[in-house]
Amino acid sequence: MQIKTEIARIKDQDCKLYTLINDNGMEVSCLNYGGIITKILAPDRNNNFENVVLGFKDYEDYTSNPAFFGALIGRIAGRIQESSFEIDGKSYTVPENDGPNHLHGGTPGFHKAIWEAEPFEGSDEVGVILTHTSPDGENGYPGNLKMNVTYTLNNNNEFSITYEGTSDQKTALTVTNHSYFNLSGNLKSDILDHNVTLNANKFVELDSALIPTGNILPVEGTVFDFQSGRKIKDGVNSDYVQNLNASNGYDHYFLFDNQQENNVVVVDEHSGRTLKVKTDQPGMVMYTSNNLPEQLQLQEGPSKRYLGVCLETQASPASLHHQGFPSVLLDKDEKYYTKTTFAFGVK
């Protein structure tokens, strides 16, 4: 196990790139700028190590990063309807950055913060602890919020993200990572033939602006039923209004059933790579890069639609406006703690 540290020049500042390496040769690289995961090298069935996430060729491009490649997202992951919410009868307004709505914490959000970083090494795991304080009132959110996010890689080829936070006022908080996974390796193909199994029997209905309507729908009988596994292209090619609202694909919150060991399993038959996701979060947004801008300069070539799938484990910001959704409220001095593990394997 080892960690390599390099200087990455971003926004005229010396940021740091940390590369976590386990004894099998798997690597996870991340920046302290935005907590951005820039590269994950994982083996295929022939033990060829290739990159399985989307990342820019030039680190400076992360200063704009319209697609949020690899970034930590907060304080609120997802969209807040009409850029406002109430906590205990008091109204809060957050910046509009997605039409009239608020997306992924605004700017400066967690994805553009320079986090303090402390690497660590153990006998069977390596990692880095990222620390950031968001002041009271930043982007309209109440409370001084202290966050710790820990990235850990072990010798079982498991990459874990642990999120911890406390606020000195009651606030709204749900944090995720916005990595785009592509198990083909070095972006050799899109993700339309990736087979996904989700332990979820319900999903959240969206309107044409991708805002939850307040309805929670059963997956049965629709292309949102991933309980026995299905390919992503089923939803891309579907004429179901929910897929059309998401620009031909998925950008929806699935509520986990939590009856199985893994909440999510993704398989690429060609490379043999598998990705199993286990989380204590109540649900996940699966985004299939339907609106990914084209011609962004990635490490392996230009970006295009359907080049990656995001597995954004989180609570639901719809809970700020509707009943029956997993809450994003955090009480004063309450400890926010959640963990998601991405286990890479082959079949």
Residues classed as catalytic: 178, 312
Which residue has tokens 């690597």? Answer: 27
Integer Cα distance of 226 and 313 in angstroms: 16
* Cα–Cα distance measured from residue 248 to residue 63, given in angstroms and rounded to the nearest whole number: 28
Q: How far apart are the first and last CA of the chain?
A: 25
> From its phi and psi, is residue 319 left (phi > 0), alpha (psi between -120 and 50) or beta?
alpha
Residue 159 C-alpha from the chain's centroid: 13
Report the alpha-carbon distance of residue 277 to residue 38 in Å, rounded: 19
SS3 210: coil
Alpha carbon distance 166, 331 (integer Å): 9
Fill in the DSSP letter of residue 193.
T
3-class state of residue 57 by DSSP: coil
Q: Give the integer Cα–Cα distance in Å for 314 and 340.
A: 10
Closest by alpha carbon to 40, among 160, 218, 204? Answer: 160
Cis preceding-peptide flag for 79 (omega within 30 of 0):
no
Residue 12 β-bridge partners: none
Beta strands in 112-223 (DSSP E): 116-121, 125-134, 145-154, 158-167, 171-172, 176-177, 180-181, 195-198, 200-206, 212-218
Report the alpha-carbon distance of residue 18 to residue 35 in Å, rounded: 10
Please give the structure tokens belonging to residue 226: 């991933």
Residues in the chain: 347
